Amino acid sequence: MIRLASMAVLLALLSPSAVACPITDAAASAQDDAAKVDFVKDVLPIFRERCFECHSGDSDEGDLLLDDKTNVFDDERSDAAIKPGSPKESSIYRRIVLPADDSDIMPAEGDPLTKAQIATIERWIREGASWPDGAVQPVVAKKPPEILRVPELDDAQTALVDAAVKRVRTAGGTATKVAATSNAWYVNIGLLGKKLDDARLGELLAGLEPALVWLNLGRTAVSDEGASVLAGFGELRRLQLQGTAITDRALDSVGKLAKLEYLNLYGTSITDAGLERLAGLTALTRLFVWQTKVTEAGARKLAEAIPALEIDLGASAQDLAAVAKRIEEASRPVNDLCPITGKKVDPKKTFAFEGKTIALCCSDCLQKFAKDPKKWFPKVVFRDPKSAATTVDADATPVLLNAKCPVSGEAANAEHSIRIGDAAIGFCCGKCKAKFEAELAKHPEAKARFVGK
């Protein structure tokens, strides 16, 4: 395809009135200017129509306010919303071009932007994303937003915070202010996974004590020893320790975080005895203890000590066993003989198609089948003819096998699910689903068990 700019040069060359060099010609460049995307006329209406609902006024989803120039171009953001000149490095552009079924696509609701709208935004960013001051009247917040702040820091403290933020980002974590006008920070070093151990934790966070309000350490290698530094982070409101190696001992330090409102301990080995150490956390409103050794009685005891607290115990062992059984059933091959050679199948060489797991006799046949499943599927001889008849209606809302998201422990939603035949495993949001899928991708043998998408 010929890009518009070169087309203009071509036309200028062909035009009989083109006496001056078409590239340096002043008239031509003036014309280029005139053709530039106009923020107020071309871009703002798209934002207003499709984004403001969630990204303006008192609605600042993802900490992004599209009616606020300083927020959009804030270079404190770990992920630039708009990088003038470079659409690909601008999260706004990256989000709007995602496939329609990607859970991260923006707008988060309704149809994707049209091709023309996407092209306009792409060109506007490429041309430098000019945004005249005062072009947008900030949408007036319906209620004055309550911005989470920590007590003012002195210069020395601020310098230490800045240094720690740099370290976290260099290490591959994210550090973001919780709101553009706040002095409180959110750090996610769960992103480092098992690379984050106890020693590393202390090093990275030193200096953030007075400013850190949200911290995600989920699925890292942090254990009780590392968690002991947390006692010094008295401003923490949210703490995620899910999937770490901590035990009850770590809750001695966590129990000192008087401002803590949200605590996620999902998938750790804490027990009722550990919960007792949290009894002084009167600000706590949400606690996740799914897949721990905490019992209902233990949870009830803590709930009595902190009346506003909602404790999530998650699915029972029975629920999980049911999920495991369904996966097992759905992944058992439906045939004994290879549809290509007629030989006995190797139960490890399987391919998922039309909601069925089909076994082949060898890797060669597996590849052949995978290349053209439609051709070979009719040749499959079902061990149980009944199972041949049950087809999966890909459009029907799947039956969820689990009530709670296995990643966050929050309520599972059929809209974010992975199908297993006619049933599905649900997640609370697209992000958790993506995390789970990324995990699955590392284990092809487990992935083969999930049928379809």
| Footprint of ligand HEC (CB under 6 A) | 50-51, 53-55, 61-62, 64, 77, 79, 81, 91-92, 95-96, 104, 106-109, 113
Q: How far is the CB of 131 from ligand HEC (least distance, A)?
A: 14
Q: In the numeric block, which tokens belong to residue 443? A: 């284990």
């290879």: which residue's tokens?
A: 338
* Residue closer to ligand HEC, measured from CB, 92 or 401: 92
Give Dmax (Cα) for the chain: 89
Q: How far is the CB of 379 from ligand HEC (least distance, A)?
A: 44
* Residue closer to ligand HEC, measured from CB, 91 or 188: 91
Q: How far is the CB of 122 from ligand HEC (least distance, A)?
A: 12
Q: How far is the CB of 64 from ligand HEC (least distance, A)?
A: 4
What is the phi/psi pair of residue 108, to 5°?
A: -70, -15
Q: How far is the CB of 7 from ligand HEC (least distance, A)?
A: 28
Q: How far is the CB of 372 from ligand HEC (least distance, A)?
A: 37
* Residue closer to ligand HEC, measured from CB, 102 or 304: 102
* Residue closer to ligand HEC, measured from CB, 51 or 139: 51
Please list the residues that pair with 423 across neighbouring strands: 399, 420
- Dihedral sign for Cα 159, 165, 167, 170, please: negative
Of 236, 204, 234, nearest in space to 220 by CA = 204
| Cα–Cα distance for residue pair 35/30, rounded to 1 Å | 9
Segment 294-300 long-range contacts (CB within 8 Å, at least 24 positions apart): 294/270, 297/272, 298/271, 298/272, 299/275
- Concatenated DSSP letters for 236-257? -SEEE-TTSS--TTHHHHHTT-
* Residue closer to ligand HEC, measured from CB, 349 or 435: 435
Cis? peptide before 132, omega within 30° of 0: no
* Residue closer to ligand HEC, measured from CB, 188 or 253: 188
Q: How far is the CB of 186 from ligand HEC (least distance, A)?
A: 11
Q: How far is the CB of 39 from ligand HEC (least distance, A)?
A: 14
- Dihedral sign for Cα 383, 384, 390, 392, please: negative
* Residue closer to ligand HEC, measured from CB, 84 or 107: 107
Q: How far is the CB of 36 from ligand HEC (least distance, A)?
A: 20
Q: Are 426 and 416 in contact (CB under 8 A)?
A: yes
Side-chain-side CA neighbours of residue 145 (13 Å): 19
Cis? peptide before 398, omega within 30° of 0: no
* Residue closer to ligand HEC, measured from CB, 76 or 329: 76
Question: How many degrees, rounded to 5, is the angle at CA 288 between CA 284 and CA 290?
Answer: 160
Q: In the numeric block, which tokens belong to residue 206? A: 């030193």
* Residue closer to ligand HEC, measured from CB, 81 or 345: 81
Give the number of other CB atoms < 10 A from CB of residue 446: 13
DSSP one-letter code for 89: G
